[in-house]
Homo-oligomer: A and B are copies of this chain.
C-alpha cells in the first residue's frame, strides 16, 4: 500500500483530485493544499492551535448573516482583499481598492452637478474629475457609481431611520469624460470589531479605523470595470487603514473653495471644498 507521511501527504491529497478537467479549480485546490500543509510544517502547529483555528472559523460563521460577512472582514484585515485588488489592477488603469460591505446595486441615477448631502451636517465637497482611457482620451458616458459615509461616519444603510439609497448615486460622464457632484466630506469609521475578527485586532493592538474615503465603481464600454476608493491627503489613518485599502495613487487633496471662486461646473449646491481626481480605465483583455 501507499505510505503517507508528513512529506508525502501533500502529493497524496493532490492525487485524490481525480477529475482534473476543471483545470483552474484543480490548480487553485492544489496550491491551497500546498500552502496549508507548508503552513503546518513551518509552524509545527499543535493540535490545540489547529482546533482553535477551526473554531475561530466556526465563530466567524456563527456571527455572519446576509448583512454581515465576517469572512470578507477577515480577508480585509489580513490584507488578503488588498492583494487580490492589487494583482487584478491591470495595465495603467487606476488601482483597485476594497468594495467593502456597503455597496448597493441599483443606486439612483442622478444628473451631473447634483448634490448628495441634502440637509445633513458637514463640510460640503465638490468631487470631480475626468474618466480617461490608458492613452489619456476622455471617456464620455462612462458610469460612475459612488457611495460613502456621511459627515458622522455612518452609511445611511446602517440606520433604519434613513433611506438606504442616500449618500449614493450613479452618474454618467459628460462628453468631455467629466464627472462632478457635491456631497459631504465623509468621516472615518471603524470596521465591526465586536466579533471574532475583532479578537485578532485586540490581541495584536490594532485599531479598527478606516481612513476616510469615497467608494467608486467605474465602467465604460470596452473597458475593464474597476472598484476603488478615493482617500484624502493628511488623514489621521492614511498610513494605518484597518483594511489596507490606501494606495499612494488613490489619495486626493482637499482644497478650499473661496466664496467668490468661479467654478467650472453648474452645481446644485455651492461647495466649501473640492477634491479633483481623474480615473483611468484600461481596455478589456481581448
Chain A positions within 8 Å of B, measured between CB atoms, are 1-6, 9-10, 12-13, 16-20, 22, 25-29, 31-33, 35-47, 49-50, 54-55, 57-58, 60-62, 64, 69-72, 75, 78-88, 200, 203-206, 227, 238-240, 244, 246-248, 251
Most buried by B among A17, A50, A64, A251: A50
Residues of B within 8 A of A247 (CB): 3-5
A13 contacts B58, C-beta separation under 8 Å: no
B22 contacts A50, C-beta separation under 8 Å: no
Known contacts A83-B9, A83-B37: A75-B54 contact under CB 8 Å: yes
A50 contacts B75, C-beta separation under 8 Å: yes
Known contacts A2-B239, A4-B244: A82-B42 contact under CB 8 Å: no
How many copies of this chain does the complex contain?
A: 2
Interface of A: prevailing SS = helix
Residues of B within 8 A of A38 (CB): 35
**In the A-B complex, the 10 residue pairs with the closest CB atoms:** A61-B61, A19-B205, A13-B79, A6-B86, A17-B204, A18-B205, A54-B71, A35-B35, A40-B83, A57-B71
Q: Which of B45, B227, B240, B251 interacts with A16 by CB under 8 Å?
A: B240
Q: Which of B16, B40, B44, B238 interacts with A80 by CB under 8 Å?
A: B40
Residues of B within 8 A of A70 (CB): 61
Q: List 26 A-B contacts (CB under 8 A).
A: A2-B239, A3-B248, A4-B82, A5-B86, A6-B86, A13-B78, A13-B244, A16-B206, A16-B240, A16-B244, A19-B203, A19-B204, A28-B45, A29-B200, A33-B78, A33-B79, A35-B36, A40-B83, A44-B88, A46-B84, A47-B227, A50-B81, A57-B60, A57-B71, A61-B71, A62-B64
Residues of B within 8 A of A26 (CB): 204
A25 contacts B57, C-beta separation under 8 Å: no
Kindly provide the distance from the CB of A40 to the nearest chain B CB, expressed in whole angstroms: 4
Q: Which of B2, B29, B54, B203 interacts with A22 by CB under 8 Å?
A: B203
